[in-house]
């Protein structure tokens, strides 16, 4: 579920758009305004607790987010996309209050902020705490399309139930996505969602902890050549692969990693007409992957 914090607003705005509509991003100091370029900050898995001193897996989550947010503000992107698991575990009210204190301390956003919710979030708590209004053409799901410089960015909702690991898009959302992509085929399309795609395996004990309807999702994406990349979090493991020419970008966690030695931090995305450049900003500046760049050309 994407929820949006826009500059000069004192509350989070929950927004969902019909297939023919796009979220209008306001201008603000430092935003890239050229139609053929744009820069965005990509984050995932902040896992913020109500207690700013909370520690999990030897990481103080609020401290990690504060460091990342300082870097994002200095980069002055056109906007920020946080790919779910905003909250620590169950999406409690205090978690979202602390998130607001960390990223909009003065009650005003410095740039457009776009939040998707993951399996450790709660839709109602998010809306209630931030006094957000929500309306959607899809019952119980919230979607959005951002006109972002040279691309259209589609934000999806894979949250099933709070603190239940797998994610699901559902028939209604997939139908909306197909129609929206067809209606906006004039520019490259990027997809953002919390859960990672998983293709079923015919083997004993297989469990899908990602998007349970990955197969129908990619039937939609692969057949539409203007779809160029899918961004997601959930696995806490930075990496880039490709399927049918579509780039699959697994974003690093802001909070903690699952495997020792993997980077946490955020990714800068510099968009152009024929591709984008991704730059990893690891929180550990001595990490061997800090600063690595990936040039992704469109299929």
pLDDT digits (tens, 9 = 90+) for 240-296: 999 999 999 999 999 999 999 999 999 999 999 899 999 999 999 999 999 999 999
- The pLDDT tens digits for 43-72 are 999 999 999 999 999 999 999 999 999 999
DSSP state, residue 109: B
SS3 248: strand
| pLDDT at 3 (0 to 100) | 63
> Which two structure tokens, joined as six digits, stand for 272?
């152009």
**Beta strand 79-83 pairing with 113-116:** parallel
Backbone angles phi, psi at 81, to 5 degrees: -120, 120
Q: Give pLDDT, residue 124.
A: 85
pLDDT, one tens digit per residue, over 140-173 is 777 888 888 899 999 999 999 999 999 999 999 9
Reference 85, options 238, 279, 255; nearest CA is: 255
d(CA 44, CA 191): 14
Which residues, in sequence order, are CB contacts of 287 under 8 Å at separation 6+?
Answer: 263
Does the pLDDT at position 13 exceed 60?
Answer: no
Paired residues of 38 in beta bridges: 271
Do 173 and 206 meet the contact criterion of CB atoms below 8 Å apart?
A: no
DSSP 3-state of 9: coil
What letters, b where the CB count within 10 A reaches 16 and e where it falls short, cover 146-177? bbbbbbbbbbbbbbbebeeebbbbbeebbebb
The β-bridge relationship of strands 38-43 and 55-56 is unpaired
DSSP lists the bridge partners of residue 48 as: 87
- CATH H superfamily, domain 3-297: Metallo-dependent phosphatases (3.60.21.10)
> Model confidence over 205-253: pLDDT tens digits?
888 999 999 999 999 999 999 999 999 999 999 999 999 999 999 999 9
Please say whether the beta carbons of 141 and 172 come within 8 A. Answer: yes
Pick from 11-15, 27-31, 155-159: least confident: 27-31
- What pLDDT does residue 35 have? 72
State how far the Cα of 141 lies from the Cα of 137, in Å rounded to an integer.
Answer: 8
Predicted confidence (pLDDT) per residue in 91-146, tens digit: 999 999 999 999 988 777 788 888 888 999 998 888 777 655 445 567 677 788 88
Q: Are 216 and 227 in contact (CB under 8 A)?
A: no
Instruction: Show me where the domains of the chain are located.
Output: 3-297
Alpha-carbon Rg for the chain in angstroms: 18
In three-state secondary structure terms, 289 is: coil
Question: How far is 111 from 7, CA to CA, in rounded Å?
Answer: 6
Query: Is residue 40 classed as helix, strand or coil in its secondary structure?
Result: strand
| 203/135: higher pLDDT | 203
Give the residues across from 147 on adjacent strands: 152
């Amino acid at each position: 579920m994407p929820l949006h914090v826009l500059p000069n607003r004192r509350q989070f705005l929950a927004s969902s758009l019909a297939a023919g509509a796009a979220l209008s991003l306001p201008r603000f100091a430092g935003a890239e305004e050229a139609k053929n370029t744009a820069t965005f900050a990509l984050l995932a898995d902040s896992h913020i607790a109500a207690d700013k001193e909370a520690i999990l897996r030897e990481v103080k989550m609020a401290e990690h987010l504060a460091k990342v947010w300082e870097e994002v503000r200095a980069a002055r992107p056109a906007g920020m996309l946080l790919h779910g698991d905003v909250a620590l575990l169950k999406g409690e009210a205090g978690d979202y209050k602390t998130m607001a204190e960390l990223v909009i301390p003065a009650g005003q956003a410095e740039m457009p902020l776009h939040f998707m919710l993951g399996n450790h979030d709660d839709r109602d708590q998010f809306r209630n705490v931030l006094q957000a209004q929500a309306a959607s053409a899809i019952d119980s799901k919230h979607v959005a399309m951002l006109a972002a410089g040279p691309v259209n960015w589609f934000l999806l909702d894979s949250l099933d139930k709070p603190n239940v690991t797998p994610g699901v898009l559902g028939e209604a959302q997939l139908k909306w996505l197909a129609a929206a992509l067809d209606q906006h085929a004039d520019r490259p399309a990027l997809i953002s969602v919390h859960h990672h795609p998983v293709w079923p395996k015919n083997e004993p004990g297989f469990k899908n902890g990602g998007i349970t309807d990955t197969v129908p999702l990619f039937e939609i994406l692969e057949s539409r050549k203007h779809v160029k990349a899918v961004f997601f979090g959930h696995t806490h493991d930075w990496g880039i692969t490709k399927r049918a020419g579509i780039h699959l970008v697994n974003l690093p966690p802001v909070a903690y990693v699952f495997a020792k030695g993997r980077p946490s931090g955020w990714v800068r995305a510099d968009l152009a007409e024929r591709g984008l450049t991704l730059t990893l900003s690891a929180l550990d500046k001595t990490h061997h992957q800090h600063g690595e760049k990936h040039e992704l050309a469109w299929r």
